[in-house]
Structure 1
Amino acid sequence: MSQFPIPRRLTVPEITSRKGKEPIVSLTSYHAHTAAIADRYVDFLLVGDSLGMVMHGFESTLPVPLDLMILHGRAVMRGARRALVVVDMPFGSYEESPQQAFRNAALVMKETQCGAIKLEGGKRMADTIHFLSERGIPVMAHIGLTPQSINILGGFKTQGRTREQWAIIEDDARSVTEAGAFAVVLEAVAEPLAAKITRDVPIPTIGIGASPVCDGQILVMEDMLGLSPRVPKFVKEFGQVGAAIENAIRSYAEEVRARSFPAPSNTYELKD
């Protein structure tokens, strides 16, 4: 037996049990080193399909393939030791049928060893969520602004700002809850609606642009670190990492051109 015990990861039931008791902290993560840092402070890490925009320069999340999610999911699992890791199901990998969703979700969980998957869609995905949950795959739902549906929504638009929109989104929340989702992400949802959903459903609500009334919060890590050129209104930049990186690269380039780097302290001498 190893003398170095591996820290026990948080589980899906532990996340669900925090409903109404303790705020749930989460961030996206796409690589091992940021996962290792965030792991000390968050309850779950989401390997979001936002990596397509943040890391690979796509204009939306739609081009992200399943194998890319698996690749990044493995990296995050190698970096995180304590947090629950949730992996996004990318566009086209689950919508066709519950059977397609199961095949691909099972592949993600086998290949990454993550603890849960996330998929977008409310009432229309209820049968799929039920199918997966009944077969041992924990599902985090995602309603409100669903980025994979931007071509139907007409862009990244806030949801629930008029009461006429509420019934559909509330129905989505009820449907995914009854189908067996263990938590639901509310993205870009007006505060009064987010508060009502949070009160009405027995599973945790995870807000991203849905106000502090939710049971937990998630942000794209690069957005909150100040690495993204443009961020939504709901993002607070908790750091200026982008500026720090630029300053470091500028200093490096200047020293290379001035031949002051590598210095003697960075150079190997001949052994006597």
Structure 2
Amino acid sequence: MKKITLHTLQTLKQQQQPFAVLTAYDATFAALIEKAGIDVILVGDSLGNVIQGQESTVPVTMDDICYHLQCVKRGSQKTLVIADMPYMSYATEEQTYHNAALLMQSGANMVKLEGGDWLKQTIKGLSERGIPVCAHLGLTPQSVDALGGFKVQGRTDAAAEKLINDAKALEQAGASLLVMECVPAALAKKVTQQLSIPTIGIGAGADCDAQVLVLHDMLGLNVDFKPKFVKNFLQETQGDVLEALSLYAEQVKQRKFPTAEHSFD
């Protein structure tokens, strides 16, 4: 496995070859994920839910992300690593640059921010300063209270048009990747076709350039959390973790996952 860079991911999009993304929070799983051929690790603020036992991602701090990011980097050498900027860590320009620098110094290859076209200046400033940005549209967990809960986004014509316009604006501002979470598959396909940057879907259908899942979800470790867009890969491999990770990578890259069963209309 060669070292994965943004250029690698852009080339894969151009060649219409899907790539696989998975969250990780420690060195052991990071090493297994890399060995399984998964291209990108996201050190997500989902650690609030699956590691800390929080009800949302809101309580996660910069210290939390930096700690887990450093752990992940010790376990992976070739995977591209994205780090979430946690809740309210990019509310002002000064705060944004300081916190993004901390994540890059802790080992991130790029940072991820949730939000629409109001983030244009933030993304422009970061990219001008050499900090690659992954944008995040659709269901944005840091804003779950404002959204009224965990609901599919972009189902009305107006909401779909706004998501498309936001995606184009964020790309123009300098975003290098775009995550779309819990949006109708047809809308995600339209966005993917209209952007030159790679898109990463989670509950966004099979036509995104990549797929991402939370590690604990795709291993079926939370028996009380079974959203439509998740598949238990560990169950399919009779409990072999490395085989489950490899199967996830294989099915994403062959467009066998997600299916319509895991997507929204």
TM-score class, shorter-chain normalisation, is 0.7 to 0.9
Pair 1:10-2:4 in alignment? yes
Residue in 2 that maps onto 1:146: 140
Contact 1:12 1:116 in 2 (8 A): no
Residue in 2 that maps onto 1:73: 69
TM-score by length of 2: 0.86
Which ranges in structure 2 are unaligned for 5 or more consecutive residues? 241-265
Higher alpha-carbon Rg = 1
SS in 1 for 2:38: coil
Question: Separation in 2 of the partners of 1:151 and 1:20?
Answer: 37
Residue in 1 that maps onto 2:253: none
Aligned 1:235-254 pairs, distance under 5 A? 235-240=230-235
SS in 2 for 1:174: helix
Structure 1 pair 214–144 and aligned structure 2 pair: CA distance change class (3 A): same
Deviates more, 1:26-35 or 1:226-235: 226-235
Residue in 1 that maps onto 2:29: 34
Pairing partner for 1:167 from 144, 157, 161: 161
What do you get for the CA RMSD once the two structures are aligned?
A: 1.7
| CA deviations over 1:151-204 (Å, ceiling 9, x no partner) | 110011101222231111111101110011111000001011101100101100
How far has the Cα of 1:8 moved from its partner? 5.7
Contact 1:98 1:132 in 2 (8 A): no
Pairing partner for 2:211 from 208, 212, 217: 217
Residue in 1 that maps onto 2:19: 24
Contact 1:159 1:189 in 2 (8 A): yes
Contact 1:16 1:183 in 2 (8 A): no
Question: Separation in 1 of the partners of 2:34 and 2:178?
Answer: 21
Residue in 2 that maps onto 1:184: 178
Question: Separation in 2 of the partners of 1:118 and 1:17?
Answer: 20
Contact 1:144 1:189 in 2 (8 A): yes
Amino acid at match of 2:99: N
Amino acid at match of 1:60: S
Pairing partner for 1:128 from 119, 122, 127: 122
Pair 1:119-2:113 in alignment? yes
SS in 2 for 1:194: helix
How far has the Cα of 1:58 moved from its partner? 0.3
Aligned 1:72-111 pairs, distance under 5 A? 72-94=68-90, 96-110=91-105
Residue in 1 that maps onto 2:201: 207
Question: Separation in 2 of the partners of 1:131 and 1:13?
Answer: 21
Residue in 2 that maps onto 1:263: none
Residue in 2 that maps onto 1:248: none
Amino acid at match of 2:97: F
RCO comparison, higher one (Cα < 8 Å, 6+): 2
TM-score by length of 1: 0.83
Which ranges in structure 1 are unaligned for 5 or more consecutive residues? 1-6, 246-272
| CA deviations over 1:111-142 (Å, ceiling 9, x no partner) | x2221111111201111011000001000110
